Amino acid sequence: MALIALENIELTLAERQILKNINLQVHEKEIITLIGPNGAGKTSLVKVVLGLIKPTRGKVVRQQKLSIGYMPQQVVVEPTLPLTVERFLKLVRRASNKDIQNALARVGVTHLQRSPVQNISGGEMQRVLLARALLNKPQLLVLDEPVQGVDVGGQGEMYQMISSLRDELGCAVFMISHDLHLVMASTDTVICLNQHVCCSGHPEHVTQDPAYLEIFGQYQPQHVAVYTHHHDHHHDLHGDIVQGGASKEDSAQEPQNQHNHEGCNHG
Amino acid sequence: MADFLLYALLGGVGVALVAGPLGSFVVWRRMAYFGDTLSHSALLGIAFGILMDINLSVAVILGCVLLASVLIVLQHNRQLAVDTLLGILAHSTLALGLVVVSLLDNVRLDLMAYLFGDLLSISLADIAMIYIGGLLVLACLYFLWHPLLAITIHEDLARVEGLPVNQARAGFMLIMALVIAMAMKIVGVLLITALLIIPAATARRITNTPEQMALGASIIGAIAVMLGIGLSYWWDTPTGPSVVLSASFLFALAYSFPKSSSYQ
């Protein structure tokens, strides 16, 4: 049984359609990466999955007592609030001191334990947030742009950490990638979202594609993969769907993946 | 010592102790303007309390809770920025309060006492109310401390982690209304927010954890009350503004020393 299943989700906020016709399931130990342009509704979809937003239509079926570790996109703590990293992690109620030390060690920032959260860098904060998600002993990790603002080398490291955490904890991962084309290598399924699911499939390794080799060859990014989009439509400036228009990506490469466009009810 | 001075000290210190932790949250949550709006509406509460012949403190609390609910509704489908909305509500309710009070011609009301506080005329019954209300507020804060701190840092995260977010928010509003009703006696409608935020901002300078800051704010507030009452007694200055000025003095003092490396 899926940990979480979304059935025909539609979301309209202030008369603006944010999400339509979303069907997806997150299974145990599965890694799903969500990609899409700005304003595609990625964060909204994550919030529906988390139960923070109630969809206008459709059903969210969650496994009973599902424990979720959530890592939001950005957490900025008011400078007026004196708070160390350790105290920040203690906000997870059932976390003992030992749990906190273990979680910090797992994400490699033990030395930050007593630092004020306002004094650590963006990349360090991402790790601390991951540690907080781990303290919830998650069956499902939900990560909103976990490597945003992290350099390419650090991205690979972070991705490797997430993927080995999946193996250690046996949890599923549902995450948003900040990049339209680069995703975590161990992703099982990539979902391209633009209000509806445009396409989905499995990512390819970076090193197989000469075009990306040229760009990233010198960095030798590990744990990062390329996702090639296969759209049978594109979106105009208003985000409306234009049928049959092949995008550049489509003409450049033959589709290699099984993908299902039945979900796209245009109009 | 004269009774009225002892009462003033007891009452003032009682309110300051409660205002410390609450004021810390007002600072952390950037709700100073919200506190202003609630306290400005307190006079309207007084006016309607007299009209409907109910206990004035209860009227103030009801008024604040009502206004807070209106604000929450307006914020959800808002067309205006929050600070504009707060400004409109704050001054409209204050103006309406002043107008309604002026129309109550068979009631003599010491308007100045409500606007600027009248600590020296505090009665034993007032002190009882302050301490009973204060204990209630502190008890609520004790139980809500963890979820309130968590939602102050990140509300969505707190919600996903299963904390009672809505209850914490509603509880905070209620506590705020209670404290405003209490503090009105001490510093008056116009200066309540100062009593909440100045001691908290002062305490930030010399503390390292949220709990230290809350406690520090209580102590600093209590010192400000004592200084203010002294000032008022010896130089015959108005009590509420004297208390606030004392708090400002302590604030300036704390920030005039170079920042100690042991406090981050």
Domain B3-254 has CATH 1.10.3470.10: yes
User: Which residues of chain A make contact with B150, given a CB cutoff of 8 A?
Assistant: 91
CB nearest to A119's CB, from B157, B263, B264: B264
Report CA B70 to chain centroid distance, whole Å: 19
Closest residue of B to A76, CA-based?
A: B153
Each domain of chain B, given as residue ranges in start order, spans 3-254
Rounded Cα distance, A158 and A109, in Å: 12
CB A225 within 8 A of CB A205: yes
User: Which residues of chain B make contact with A72, given a CB cutoff of 8 A?
Assistant: 154, 156-157
For B131-141, the pLDDT digits (tens) are 998 999 999 99
Burial of B213 (0-12, 13-18, 19+ CB in 10 A): buried
The neighbour count for residue B222, using CB atoms within 10 Å, is 20
Query: Closest Cα of chain A to B229: distance in Å?
Result: 29
Query: Closest Cα of chain B to A90: distance in Å?
Result: 10
DSSP codes, B101-148: HHH-TTS---HHHHHH--GGG--HHHHHHHHHHHHHHHHHHHHHHHHH
Size of interface A-B (CB pairs under 8 A): 67
CB A6 within 8 A of CB A48: yes
For B23-74, the pLDDT digits (tens) are 999 999 988 888 888 888 888 888 888 888 888 888 888 888 888 888 777 7
Residue with structure tokens 């604000």?
Answer: B71
CA torsion, ordered B140, B142, B143, B148, to nearest 10 deg:
90
Q: Is A31 helix (H, G, I), strand (E, B) or coil?
A: strand
User: Which residues of chain B make contact with A119, given a CB cutoff of 8 A?
Assistant: 264
For A13-29, the pLDDT digits (tens) are 878 888 888 888 899 88
For B147-170, the pLDDT digits (tens) are 999 999 999 999 999 899 888 988
Average pLDDT over residues A164-187: 84
Rounded Cα distance, B130 and B137, in Å: 10
Mutant choice from B149, B154, B208 vs A, greatest count of A C-beta within 10 A: B154
User: For the structural domain made of A4-67+138-252, what CATH number should be given?
Assistant: 3.40.50.300
The CA–CA distances, whole Å, from B256 to B21, B65, B225 equal 24, 38, 21
Rounded Cα distance, B240 and B245, in Å: 9
Rounded Cα distance, B22 and B66, in Å: 20
For A64-73, the pLDDT digits (tens) are 888 999 999 8
Would you call A78 an interface residue with chain B, using a CB distance cutoff of 8 Å?
Answer: yes
Would you call A133 an interface residue with chain B, using a CB distance cutoff of 8 Å?
Answer: no
Residue with structure tokens 């969650």?
Answer: A62
The CA–CA distances, whole Å, from A19 to A14, A71, A194 equal 13, 22, 8
Closest residue of A to B25, CA-based?
A: A81
What are the φ/ψ torsions at residue B196 (nearest 5 degrees)? -80, -50
pLDDT band at A252 (very low <50, low <70, confident <90, very high): very low
Average pLDDT over residues A49-72: 90
CB A61 within 8 A of CB A27: no
Query: Closest Cα of chain A to B150: distance in Å?
Result: 6
Single-letter code of the amino acid located at B225: V
Q: Report ipTM for this prediction.
A: 0.84
Q: Is A142 helix (H, G, I), strand (E, B) or coil?
A: strand
Would you call A13 an interface residue with chain B, using a CB distance cutoff of 8 Å?
Answer: no
What are the φ/ψ torsions at residue A264 (nearest 5 degrees)? -85, 95
pTM score over 0.90: no
Identify the pLDDT of residue A261. Answer: 47
What are the φ/ψ torsions at residue B217 (nearest 5 degrees)? -65, -40
Would you call B164 an interface residue with chain A, using a CB distance cutoff of 8 Å?
Answer: no
Tokens representing B92 are 């409209």
What are the φ/ψ torsions at residue B128 (nearest 5 degrees)? -60, -45
Strand A140-144, strand A68-71: pairing = parallel
Would you call A87 an interface residue with chain B, using a CB distance cutoff of 8 Å?
Answer: yes
Identify the pLDDT of residue B214. Answer: 96
What are the φ/ψ torsions at residue B69 (nearest 5 degrees)? -65, -45
User: Which residues of chain A make contact with B145, given a CB cutoff of 8 A?
Assistant: none
Residues constituting chain B:
264
pLDDT band at B78 (very low <50, low <70, confident <90, very high): low
Q: Which residues belong to CATH 3.40.50.300 in chain A?
A: 4-67+138-252
